[in-house]
Structure 1
Amino acid sequence: MIVVMDWRRAFLVCEVFLTIHCACSSVLSPPQRVKVESSVLTWNGPKNHINITYVVQYNTTLNDWRDVYNGTQQQFNFTAAAEDFYGTRFRVQSKRGNQTSAWEMSKLVQCAHLHTCAPIIELKVETDRVHLWMKHRDPSLEEKEGGHISFNPLYWKRNSNNKEELSATSTHLVIEHLESGQEYCFQVEYLLLHKPHGKPSREICKVIPETSKQRNVRVIMLGVLTVAGMAVLGCCLYFVYTHYKRIKALLQPPLDIPDHFEEFFFSEFPQHPVARPGNQEVESYDFVNFVEEVAEDEERCDLENEKKM
């Protein structure tokens, strides 16, 4: 009886072991080597990754996870919205039918993981100088690249494309000899192995205020010009007052005679002889005698012609 009971116990133990082994072997392996580089999340699939899809989530808060990808590719490219995922974490899960794997977490997304990383600048403007501070968004980029990453500060006049570079020996720069009253813009970019890296910082534009000396000179010049203008105006008014009658005479318009009056009074009249009654009778008598003489001459000519015939 004891031997029979031992065999039954051994059979039950084997059955339980096989059940557990089969159950364990049916669980999917999670993705491996989940990492973020240049705004791209990548991972390696499990050994038996046939017909496996992957689910990617990111957290907005500690316990709030949202889906961002569901597919068969082993990467998730978020370059179009890289800044939206800064400071978050990703987790990836394998899925096949009703089987799911455990979640595999990524590291916290920081500046070194993005292609849009930009330095942070702060500015303080004084009367004769500008203080510029530069710092990293987080220490990840400096930890990853070490001494190969550096700042490249730039400044230029507003509405000018001539950008000037500054030698950044520290994270605090003092920029002097800027023109007062002019607006200058400042910006900082990363240099990785002496080549631009990531995105430049935000652009800050400030007007350089005048110094106290320049302000005093401007006030004095303005006062001198005001006094000179008042003196010139006073001289003009005095001259007008003393020569009022002469100026009035000069400003009066000349007396012009209308054209039709001038033509009437100053043009020459036609010379016609005055007709008298006696003379008219003499002239008419002379004209009658002249007509009679012409008629007699014509008759004489006709008679001579008849004789000849």
Structure 2
Amino acid sequence: METSRGTFTETERRLWTETALTVLLCLEAVGCAVMPPQNVSVNDLQLTWAPGSRDGGVLYTVEYRRFDNNTWQQVPACVDTPDTSCDFSSAAANATQGCIGLRVRSQERGVSSAAVPACSVYGSRCSPEVSLTAAPGIMTVRLSRNHHLGREYADNAQHRIYFGKEGEELNEDEDTPSSKTFSGLEVGQIYCAKVEFFLYGKPIGVPSCVRCELIPAQSTTEKTVKITSLVVGGIVLFIVPIIFYLLIFQRRKIKKLLKPYEIVILCPDGPTLNGLHDLLLFPSEEPCDVVSSVVPAASSALS
């Protein structure tokens, strides 16, 4: 059906709508085609990452943020670089305590990926050193009070813990100066934690990488104690009856074996024990004649 000039038919309106949706979906698909970098981590003043795609022609840009500034800026030495590492010492030189936040994004054919924040595996002066200890129903996030920011700013430097189940978004927990234990956890479930330094209530530096641990049904310590108890109990049950048997039924043989030996002198007219002792240690000297020559008995008879 024809319409007046300047208006659209129902078919034309539907076509334009479908075209617009197709364009939006294509734009979204193009944006998603640029895979972000993987495993972005910090080690001292070196930032490294792995390519998100095997396709060539992907460039990377590193961005940083200072403690007193929420604006992300590019690291001059690491803009549109094909490398998978970046020395960010120049960006950290003028930052508070040399601590900055870092992230990396990929670019391909003029399209950028989402920025991936960096994390620290081993901990540093700007990143917490974290370890997890799991036991039945509980997990302890172990942190150290003796860190650079703590020594410099005392209680104004805190740890912020993000905690939750594996595969779920980690929940932000209250700030703490040191280790913290989470209780009431499900046995057999994996829980994860990430920790970040906060200074005067603001994030500073690079957070720790996410660490995860399984909540065991029984702790290793309890298992060790039980196994040790069983072994000791078995030894006692085996040895005690043997000792009881020997003491009750083999008492005479044991006494005989433990009885000291007696030295019997077969020659009653011989020296006593003391004399024998002296004779062995201090033998008496006997007079001897010096033989100057030996003459056979036959020769002496003839003469």
Q: What is the TM-score of this pair, normalised by structure 2? A: 0.32
Which structure features the higher share of helix residues?
1
- Greater radius of gyration (CA): 1
Q: Which has the higher contact order (CA 8 A, sep 6+)?
A: 2
